A and B are shown apart, each in its own frame.
Chain A
């Protein structure tokens, strides 16, 4: 025990950035009526289990203490008792039935997504969430905002380490919010502990969940299904605001989106694109390809022309077919093929169709960045309009 205490003391002395929250032993405080029902259900079951444990192991520890050979106890010879056996089969069964009854009510209530006030489509991507307020046109992605430096222990960790995003999901309080969940790649899971909501996001399918937040506030959760290397790094943040504020917020978002769409034909210079591209890269690409563009040997290719890369044929063959790999080295292939890889991914590998997650400007910026960084000097400048045309071409 003292080893533990000195270990903790030593660590806090060496790493003062470790914020000491109070030790939490139970579920997070409920922010919805459903979460409260779950909390109470858990308390009930815990107490029942505790009660049974104390009684049953009371008997066992008594026997261990008193019925010992060393204490001179003589062994009895009984080995059955029908009445007792029936009792201790029946009583647990009845206890279970007792627990099942309130639980059944809660399950049916949790599945009832009818009569909702608004619907939000939630899409899981590797490794961020996308929200679309159905019927409003408001749509945005939500990525981890914790700087890489904090994760790599080069900067002190903020109080919301790993639980902060660039754009939270905004919902109104006091309204029944229905979520329609899906994914574009692998199975993710949207989990908000204080709402009592966890629903798997299955690619190709829509599954529903609902919640009604009682009070305004900021609520945090995480992805709850292993989805690859970024699984621990795609949190969920929900801002619950008063309904009037929500309506105003929607209007603000629509206006901002309209502005971005209007600027779609705008041309950018390389420096502007590279600056924006670097941010996009850090949020969407660095998890695999690394901030220095060197990738991870055998798994994720480097993005530097001439860098060595060896991997299984399932990776090198599609890369070679697109002109990006030859004789054990990465080749910076054509701009068109580069766009294709980023927009449409490479089927059968971990490279996703990022065109589904990123805006035209984001795609243009990140490719311009990649083609003019880390020793790559193509001078290529990709404009958002080119990306938009590609999308239009793909749709027709």
Chain B
């Protein structure tokens, strides 16, 4: 199989370049910039939420606006920030890491990206329509979702468009990885980042259509008089939850597996040691992906399912802890007896391993059905998913950005600023979210704009932490911007422990790379 690239076309400049590009590096940049903008917007929504929750009583927002803030924070973070950021990494890195000239379908790649700003336009402009934005939780449960106004339809279509983007993006990634690897790069020689994205792409292509079905049923129940989720017509609101979470649980693994890939790249680099247990990392990732299809109802333990259902889903959910634990042990074993240095990417990676594991433990606690009965729909769940999604996924994205910025821009970022960003983020994050374990245990429900007095102290603490956390991301913005504009020359390989193919290229790499396939031993 030859991998020689043929391109004989002109390169437009200015806006035309960005609208019409078929280049994976350009498209990766577009995804990353888009996701950063969405991250800041959704983060601002969270600041408003925490401002309202700073004290008991309603100070700033009536409940209907508050519910819009929390719902949109969730939707935009998941679909606008985390997922596109990882796709941005995939676009930049996968062709470089496998020695391919570009993605398998470069034009389709551009369509995957440009669908996202359209979806974002539809979703964000729903704040401005009568009745305001969706306010039924990002999980969109009926019958509440059937009651809402026009924003609810806009959200459904935004999800459809975003789903199309993800599906064609996954087709592209799977085909690229299976078909365009340089000669000599067998599957078991691929970098872990590429493996995690291959498996993530399989998950995406399997479950995004299921989400599409679910929201289509919501649409027809809303407007065409169907009774999918209406008991009078023989339907069941809980059926939506089953279909949604069949998508929803693999979705959370979609949001974490690429993060695992980034960790598996950074930790060996800065430990100056090969990744421990490469084969078992691959099998563990695959096991997590397969198991992720049979755990979904652990989000639904209180709906009234028979004990047999609760038992089955509890057992499978607990089982997922095993391959996840294997991965954590492998990362630590990689660090063990290495020669570790603590540049910003490594600081973030180490924090992720530690804090994500805390999230994993709270997940295990939630898996235990009787305990989940107490904790479902409380702030304990909010703590759990922020530990896995912020200090898991988001901080891995930050780690990856610091790691690869020198390659993408050709400049070294400001290490002092990077470290400040790291420490402010990590400390503020824990101040914000650790107390939420306690408020949840103590009895505070989630998705409430106001709370009883015994939760006041921890809420105030969380809000203060949140304000610092939010402000720190502006430092991140500045650091990234500054690096893009200029800085010390990065050279080919600023990290002496790095060993994947992109580090054999100049920084930044030429517009077209690997038009002749590299030799992989």
Contacts and interface: CB of A to CB of B under 8 A. Distances in A.
Nearest to B438: A25
A96 B303 CA distance: 25
Contact of B302 (A77, A199, A221, A315): A199
A203 B369 contact: no
Contacts of A208: 304
B464 A7 contact: yes
A23 B457 contact: yes
Contacts, number: 332
Contacts of B464: 3-4, 7
B242 interface: no
Interface in A19-72: 19-21, 23-28, 34, 37-38, 41-42, 45-46, 49, 52-53, 56-57, 59-60, 63-64, 67-70
Given A3-B464, A45-B368, A111-B307, A88 B326 contact: yes
Contacts of B230: 204
Contacts of A73: 337-340
B55 to A, nearest CB: 7
Contact of B236 (A70, A153, A162, A205): A205
6 contacts: A18-B55, A38-B373, A63-B338, A110-B307, A152-B58, A221-B443
B377 A349 contact: no
B211 interface: no
A311 interface: yes
A231 interface: yes
Interface string A119-156: 00000000000000000000000000000001111000
> Which size bracket describes the interface of B in this complex?
35 or more
Contacts of A63: 332, 335-338, 340
B350 interface: yes
Contacts of B142: 186
Given A18-B55, A232-B451, A103 B445 contact: no
Given A27-B374, A208-B304, A231-B445, 18 more contacts: A3-B464, A18-B453, A26-B438, A57-B357, A68-B340, A88-B325, A88-B329, A103-B370, A153-B57, A181-B304, A191-B377, A196-B374, A197-B373, A200-B304, A207-B303, A226-B446, A228-B144, A232-B449
Given A38-B370, A204-B231, A67 B460 contact: no
B276 A69 contact: no
B55 A15 contact: yes
Contacts of A111: 306-307, 310
A336 to B, nearest CB: 25
Contacts of B378: 224
B131 A298 contact: yes
A208 B377 CA distance: 19
Given A103-B369, A315-B149, A53 B58 contact: no
B338 A100 contact: no
B445 A224 contact: yes
A207 B149 contact: no
A259 interface: no
Contacts of B445: 191, 222-224, 231-232
A223 B378 CA distance: 10
A370 interface: no
A49 B364 contact: yes
Task: Give the top 7 A-B pairs by smallest Cβ distance, nearest first.
Answer: A204-B231, A207-B304, A232-B448, A298-B130, A24-B442, A69-B339, A21-B454
B82 interface: no
A361 to B, nearest CB: 28
Contacts of A159: 453
B250 interface: no
B307 A153 contact: no
B332 A75 contact: no
Q: Is the interface of B mostly helix, strand, loop or mixed?
A: helix
A348 interface: yes
B150 interface: yes
Interface in B300-350: 302-304, 306-307, 310-311, 314-315, 318-319, 321-322, 325-326, 328-329, 332-342, 350
Given A3-B464, A49-B365, A202 B303 contact: yes
Given A28-B442, A53-B361, A298-B129, A225 B377 contact: yes
A5 B326 CA distance: 41
Given A45-B365, A88-B326, A24 B454 contact: yes
Interface in A168-193: 181, 185-187, 189, 191, 193
Nearest to B233: A204
A150 B303 CA distance: 33
A42 B318 contact: no
A45 B273 contact: no
User: Most chain-B CB neighbours within 10 Å: which of A21, A60, A160, A203?
Assistant: A60
B441 interface: yes
B122 interface: no
B451 A162 contact: yes
Interface in B133-170: 135-137, 141-144, 146-147, 149-150
A396 interface: no
Given A196-B373, A200-B303, A230-B63, A18 B456 contact: yes
B231 A203 contact: yes
A299 B451 CA distance: 24
Contact of B318 (A100, A185, A287, A300): A100
B304 A205 contact: yes
A326 interface: no
Contact of A185 (B143, B322, B336, B374): B143
A28 B341 contact: no
B273 A79 contact: yes
A15 B457 CA distance: 13
Contacts of A200: 302-304
A187 B144 CA distance: 7
A69 B302 contact: no
